[in-house]
Amino acid sequence: MGSFLEDMVNYIFRSMAGQSPLSDVAKQFTYTEAGLTSGLSSGGSVRIIYDVFLVIGNGILLVSWLISFFEEFHIRDVDTVEWVTKQFVKLMIGILLLNNALPVILYLIALGDSLVAQFSAATSNGTLTDISSQITYAIKAARIYAYNANTATKLLLIIRLIIPYLILHVVRILIYAVAVFRVIELTVRISFAPMALPKLFHEGKQSEGVRYLKKIAVVIFQSLAITVVVWASSIITEGFMQGNGTMAKVAQALQVDESTAQNLGSDQIDKYFQNGASTASSDSSFHPYGTTTVDEDLESVKVSGESIFDAVFTVSNLMIVMAVQGAAVYMVLRSQSLAEDAIM
């Protein structure tokens, strides 16, 4: 129960502190696309299907061009060499585009992944680390308090945190599901692309071929839309915690225990979770600071952790987390529409 509770504390606190794991979001899209990229390589399963449809697509392009050529040829009064030349140039451009569409699509996928990775790297750390260099310690102090609470208190804390914790996980599961569905849709659309691209020259930029390419681009850049949604929800929560004084209270609790924060490093706190207090007190690696004992340090951490916990996990703060994450769920579900509005 203690481990589950401290995991809840860690996950929700990080979300409140503007440290939503955008890098994990980027990895989910990259990992799910790895199979597609491999399948599109020479000899890959998706590439074999694509090549079969490419042969058919070239046939469709040639037949479409011939029908269009002779229809216009018969209705024109004068068929000049210039017009005939223009029609053949049009055919050559169509063949060139059709047979080089796959590298363009692969480039778009790589571009989408690169934008997601760069955006995640630039924004994933949040700005609340400026409040104190010990923000990580603050999270772990709250975790230690929760881990060492008595059974009745643990149950009450779990009841308080369980709904926002589940909502946060729903967002993560939803993002992963969208990533999987997105790759399946991309696989189908790319496989059938050679059948749609011969229609590039029909109706100009509003042709079925152009719209099909745009739909592929929409699915590719959906990942960027989701990343922006996650980032926006993170900074909204972060701004609220700043504005209502929550993080100021956290900073105050940290200043009271600044010496302990320096003495008890992250490695010692992690080992405490792994070994337990009884093992920690007899472990020499827990005593790197002369006469300071780990038991004294941990007791001080528990006191500050309780203050931090009470300041962060208020009813109003948890309501904000649930409201923002609920909105994030809705926006993730609409992510393809958001990308479509920008591209189509």
The 10s digit of each residue's pLDDT in 264-296 is: 555 555 555 555 544 444 444 443 333 355 555
Each as own residue / partner, the long-range contacts of residues 260-265 (CB below 8 Å, 24 or more positions apart, any chain) are: 260/297, 260/300, 260/301, 260/304, 261/134, 261/137, 261/141, 263/289, 263/292, 263/297, 264/137, 264/294, 264/297, 264/298, 264/301
pLDDT at 127 over 50: no
* Higher per-residue pLDDT: 221 or 5: 221
Output the pLDDT for position 280: 46
Percent of the residues in the chain that have a pLDDT greater than 70, as a whole number = 72
pTM over 0.75: no
Distance CA 305, CA 297 (A): 12
What are 47-63's pLDDT values in tens digits? Answer: 888 888 999 988 888 88
* Higher per-residue pLDDT: 76 or 49: 49
Q: Residue 14: which pLDDT band, with cuts at 50, 70 and 90?
A: confident
Output the pLDDT for position 278: 47
* Higher per-residue pLDDT: 208 or 57: 57
Percent of the residues in the chain that have a pLDDT greater than 90, as a whole number = 0
Residues 220-241: b if buried by 16+ CB within 10 A, e if exposed = bbbbbbbbbbbbebbebbbebb
pLDDT at 68 over 60: yes
For the chain, the structural domain boundaries read 2-343
Distance CA 71, CA 69 (A): 6
**Residue-wise DSSP of 280-298:** HHH-GGG--STT--HHHHH
Question: How far lies 245's CA from each of 93, 128, 200, 242, 317, in Å?
Answer: 63, 12, 57, 6, 11
Distance CA 50, CA 138 (A): 53
Output the pLDDT for position 130: 41
Q: Residue 128: which pLDDT band, with cuts at 50, 70 and 90?
A: very low
Distance CA 127, CA 280 (A): 34
pLDDT at 34 over 70: yes
Least confident of 12-16, 69-73, 133-137: 133-137
